[in-house]
Amino acid sequence: MRRRLINSTLAVVLVVIAVFGVSLVIVETRTISASAQESVESEALRLISVVESRLLGEETINSGVLAEQIDPARFALIEIPGREPISVGERPTGSVLRATETGEGGEKVTVEESRSSVTREVGRTLLIIGAVALLAIVSAVLLAVRQANRLASPLTDLAETAERLGSGDPRPRHKRYGVPELDRVADVLDSSAERIARMLTAERRLAADASHQLRTPLTALSMRIEEISVTDDPETVKEEANIALTQVERLTDVVERLLTNSRDPRTGSAVVFDLDEVIKQQIEEWRPAYRSTGRALVCSGKHGLRAVGTPGAVAQVLAALIENSLMHGGGTVALRTRVTGNQVVVEVTDEGPGVPAELGARIFERTISGRNSTGIGLAVARDLAEADGGRLELLQQHPAVFALFLSRVPVDRRTPERPVR
C-alpha cells in the first residue's frame, strides 16, 4: 500500500510539473526573445537619434564616437547619404536579432545581436525551472512517504487488532490515529473487543456457576439412588424415589435458571411461595449428609411465612449456605426464620470457628475461599438472592451467621414458633 500511495502521488506531481513546466518554458522563451528584440530596436532608435542630432549640430560622426553609444556585444551599421557606411563592433554570425531605423534625412541605422545571448538566458531560465521542479518532486516524495506511513501504519495496527480478536484476545487497544475514517474503524473494533470480552466472561461464569450449582443436586440425587440400591423395603424405595424425582425437578430448575441468568443476570421470576416448603425440602435433602458426619441439621422460628422470590433460587441459596456450613463449619447447623419489618429473614448458623477476619469483608467475592474450594458458592448465592429483589448478608463472623432477606407477604393467621427438631 505504501508503494501504491507513493507512486500515485509522484505520478500526479509529475503530470502537474510536465503540464505547467512545459507551458512555463514556452512562455518564458517567448518573453525572453521578445524582450531581446525590443532591446535591439530600442538601441537602434536611440542610435538614429544620436546620428540625427550630430548631423544637425554639424558634429563629427565616426565609429569612435558611436561606439560609446552602443552595447559592446552588439553590431551597428550607420548609413548616411553621401558618406561611407560606418560600422561599430563585430558583426555576429549565424542567427541574429536585427532592428533597422531610418532618419528624416535618409540616415539608416541597423543594429544586430547574436541570438546566443537569448539562448543563454533561456538556458538559465530552464535551469531554474528544472531546479524548482526537482525540489517539488523531492518534496512530493517526502510528503507521499509521510502520508503513506500515516495511512499504512494504522491499517497495519487495525489488521493486527482484528487478528488478535480472531485468535481469542479481546483486549481493546484504545489507540487512535487522527484520521476520522481510521478512528471510526478503531472504535468499532474496540467495541467488538469489549462485547467479545463480555461474552467470554459470561461463558466462563456460566461454566463455573453450572459446575458449582449442579454439583449439589447431583450429589443429593446420587445419595437417594444409593439409598434405593441398598434397601429392599418398598415403602423406603418409594419414598426415596419421590425425593429423587424432586431432586431431578430441582436440577431442571437449576439448569433453566443458569440459562436465564446467562442471557440477562438481572432477570428474575419472583412469585409468592411458601417458605416452609422450601426449608423442609432442604432439611430432608441435607440431613442424611449431616447424619453421616455425626452432625445435626435443625430449624426453628416462625412458620407459615410466605415470601416473594423464586422457590428454586431460594432453595439454591439455602443449599449453598447449608453446604458451606457442612464443609467449613462445625457442630449443629441451625436454620431460623424470623420477621423484621416487611421482610422475612432466614438465618443459617453453625458452631464452627466462623469466618476468618481477613475474609469477612470479601466473603461474597468470587474466588475468595478460606479453604480448598472454588470460592464461587456464596457469590452465586448472593447473585441468586439479588436477582429476585432479596439480599444475602454475613451478620456475624464468630460463629458464622448468614442471613437471607426476602420480601414478606403477610398472612391472616397466627404464626407460632416452630419447635426445634
What DSSP string describes 370-413?
Answer: SSSS-S-HHHHHHHHHHHTT-EEEEEETTTTEEEEEEEEE--SS
Of 167-181, 316-330, 360-374, minimum mean pLDDT range: 360-374
In angstroms, the CA 339 to CA 410 distance is 10
Decide if pLDDT at 296 tops 90.
yes
pLDDT 10s digits, 91-121: 888 888 888 988 887 889 898 888 888 888 8
In angstroms, the CA 228 to CA 239 distance is 9
In angstroms, the CA 192 to CA 170 distance is 8
What's the pLDDT score for residue 211? 63
Q: Are strands 343-349 and 333-340 parallel, antiparallel or unpaired?
A: antiparallel
Set of cell numbers at residue 336? 431460623
What's the pLDDT score for residue 289? 84
Residues 310-324: what's their mean pLDDT?
Answer: 87
What's the pLDDT score for residue 193? 79
Residues pairing with 337 in the sheet: 301, 346
Of 17-31, 44-58, 258-272, 378-392, minimum mean pLDDT range: 258-272
* Residue 257, amino acid: R
What's the pLDDT score for residue 11? 85
Residues 124-145: what's their mean pLDDT?
Answer: 87
What's the pLDDT score for residue 206? 63
Q: Cβ distance 137 to 16 under 8 Å?
A: no
What pTM was estimated for this model as a whole? 0.46
Q: Give the burial string for 357-370 (b: 16+ CB within 10 Å, else e).
A: eebeeebbebebbe
Residues 9-29: what's their mean pLDDT?
Answer: 85
In angstroms, the CA 176 to CA 189 distance is 11
CATH class of segment(s) 268-418: alpha beta
What's the pLDDT score for residue 413? 43
More confident residue, 419 or 151: 151
Torsion angle of the four alpha carbons 134, 135, 137, 138, in this order, in degrees rounded to the nearest 10: 120
Write down the H helix ranges in 231-310.
234-263, 275-292
Q: Cβ distance 297 to 321 under 8 Å?
A: no
- Of 15, 4, 18, the C-alpha closest to 145 is 4
Of 210-214, 330-334, 347-351, minimum mean pLDDT range: 210-214
Decide if pLDDT at 156 tops 90.
no
C-alpha distances (whole Å) from 372 to each of 50, 325, 327, 378, 420 are 122, 14, 10, 14, 33
Set of cell numbers at residue 25? 518554458
More confident residue, 1 or 293: 293
pLDDT 10s digits, 210-230: 665 666 667 767 777 877 777
Residue 418, CA atoms < 13 Å, CB-side half-sphere? 18
Give 191's DSSP letter.
H
Decide if pLDDT at 417 tops 70.
no
**CATH topology classification for 2-138:** Beta-Lactamase (3.30.450)
Residues 289-307: what's their mean pLDDT?
Answer: 91
